[in-house]
Amino acid sequence: MIEGYHRLSRQAQLELLSEVTGVGVATLAKLPIDAVRQQQIENYLTDFRVPEGIAVNFKVNGREHVVPMVTEEPSVIAAASNGAKLVCQAGGFQAHSKRLMRGQLLMNTKTSIEVSQWVVDHQKHLLEVANAAHPSMQKRGGGALKIMPRPLSATQLSVDLLVDTKEAMGANTINTMLEALKTEFEMEGIAVEMAILSNLADQALTTVTCTIPETVIDSAVAQKIADASEFAQIDPYRAATHNKGIMNGIDAVVMATGNDWRAIESGAHAFAARDGQYRGLSTWQIVDQQLQGQLVVPLPVATVGGSIGINEQAQLNLELLQIDSANQLAEVIGAVGLAQNLAALKAIVTEGIQHGHMRLQAKSLLLEHGLPATKLNEAVPRLLKEPRIDSAHAQKIIEQMRKKDLDE
Ligand code: NDP
């Protein structure tokens, strides 16, 4: 048990960390510190670095975008760019997005019907209370728009507040509004157990579609992609992996833009299970001999708020994306998810997913086992010729190259 860690000076924190982990103080003291991020979280140690790359060929609603992606997974950016290239050759993605966030007042009540009626009767006043708690959101054309009761059981009720949060994700805005409403309910003698945003943002959906003709994708492959997407609709085991591929793309841009990827993840998966069975978020079908893809996913991403404003890299990435609004950002992110899905399905139903991954896997293995990055050009083709691409063969090649260097 460690008590009061957050109250210690940095030096005292490092000494305690060294004592409990055995990692030397000198090693810990060498870790770089960023003055801003040091203030951003509690018990800051250092920055954890993840590579950022650029996916290309994205055309969304007629506009071309390059897309910064933050990911540790080697094949993600290549796959996104490949999927986007196919769609670009077919005219690009069409996308639209809307933004209403939901907050909940959750209560146990034996008078659920009466409370529901009271909410309906006092809607206008309750919306005024919510908007008065954060008036600037209404001033910029958004704010609390709807409040409605939603019975959960005979004795449990959710009163849902829908808020247009404009360019923000709106978690803090909505929670502030909900807490003001909680006080209002309690003045009426209605006890509220919880006042909190819901991450199942089913009123902040982004829909992305694309249509790919036979001239761009072979009809047999297109049919296989459509068949593969059907498995994700009927089998949750397949759906989870199908959606993981989509989130490979979505999360990487959500991270690059300083957005809250846990919120996006929880919303996406809850939405995927909205009818009681977990299903693929995208579907592919053959219509008029063309492959049509559609992705529908909640994407309440923001261009302001949270830590976006203090994250210089997120600011630069938003500039690189050349988007005008949070909704447009969501549309590009949705397109990345669908492109990623297309590339993954195409690989799985043709040469298999490992084929494209092999070169990248070889690189990662060699680096992991200590090969200097400058030697990769020589080492990767050698590892690819081995019977298996695994640690033992990577180590063997590194050893052979070391010996050769010593001999020369
Ligand atoms: P902030 O609290 O930072 O609020 C964003 C603020 O930006 C707005 O309240 C508004 O303040 C200001 N703003 C300036 N320009 C605009 C504009 N054009 N449109 C909208 N707002 C604008 O962030 P959020 O409320 O968006 O909350 C997101 C943060 O909350 C994230 O860090 C997230 O991780 C965290 N969070 C998430 C939860 C969850 O997902 N369950 C729960 C709790 C927190 P003003 O009107 O005063 O100018």
| Residue 177 and residue 325 in one domain | no
| Residue 219 and residue 73 in one domain | yes
CA–CA gap between residue 254 and residue 236 (Å, rounded): 25
Domains contained in the chain, number? 4
Q: What are the b/e assignments for 384-398, b being 16+ CB within 10 Å?
A: eeeeebeeebbbebb
**Per-residue model confidence as pLDDT tens digits over 218-270:** 999 999 999 999 999 999 999 999 999 999 999 999 999 999 999 999 999 99
Ligand 1 centroid to Cα of residue 132, in Å, is 16
Whichever domain contains 394, its CATH number is 1.10.8.660
Whichever domain contains 175, its CATH number is 3.30.70.420
Q: 257 with 330: CB under 8 angstroms?
A: no
Which residue of 99, 166, 198, 304 sits with most ligand 1 atoms within 8 Å of its CB, as the best mutation to test the pocket? 304
What band does 361 get if pLDDT is binned at 50, 70 and 90? confident
pLDDT of residue 351: 77
Q: Alpha carbon of 300 to those of 176, 201, 207, 242, 250: distances in Å? A: 18, 7, 12, 21, 12
What band does 356 get if pLDDT is binned at 50, 70 and 90? low
* Least confident stretch, 112-116, 255-259, 314-318, 366-370: 366-370
Ligand 1 centroid to Cα of residue 131, in Å, is 15
| Residue 376 and residue 343 in one domain | no
Ligand 1 centroid to Cα of residue 23, in Å, is 38
Q: Is the pLDDT of residue 389 over 90?
A: no
**CB of 311 closer than 6 A to ligand 1?**
no
What band does 202 get if pLDDT is binned at 50, 70 and 90? very high
Q: 121 with 173: CB under 8 angstroms?
A: no
Catalytic residue at 357? yes
Atom of ligand 1 nearest to the CA of 306: 32
Q: 144 with 183: CB under 8 angstroms?
A: no
| Residue 336 and residue 213 in one domain | yes
Catalytic residue at 72? no
| Residue 153 and residue 67 in one domain | no
- The pLDDT > 90 percentage for the chain reads 89
Structural domain boundaries, residue 127: 99-196
Asked, for residue 47, whether it belongs to a domain, the answer is no
| Residue 341 and residue 245 in one domain | yes
| Residue 159 and residue 289 in one domain | no
| Residue 229 and residue 344 in one domain | yes
**Catalytic residue from among 260, 331, 346, 363:** 260
| Residue 89 and residue 18 in one domain | no
- CA nearest to 380, candidates 398, 353, 404: 398
Q: What are the b/e assignments for 115-127, b being 16+ CB within 10 Å?
A: bbebbeebeeebb
Asked, for residue 192, whether it belongs to a domain, the answer is yes
Give the predicted TM-score (pTM) of the model: 0.91
Pairing of strands 101-108, 52-60: unpaired
**CB of 173 closer than 6 A to ligand 1?**
yes
Which residue of 134, 172, 197, 307 sits with most ligand 1 atoms within 8 Å of its CB, as the best mutation to test the pocket? 172
**Catalytic residue from among 52, 73, 227, 386:** 73
**CB of 305 closer than 6 A to ligand 1?**
yes
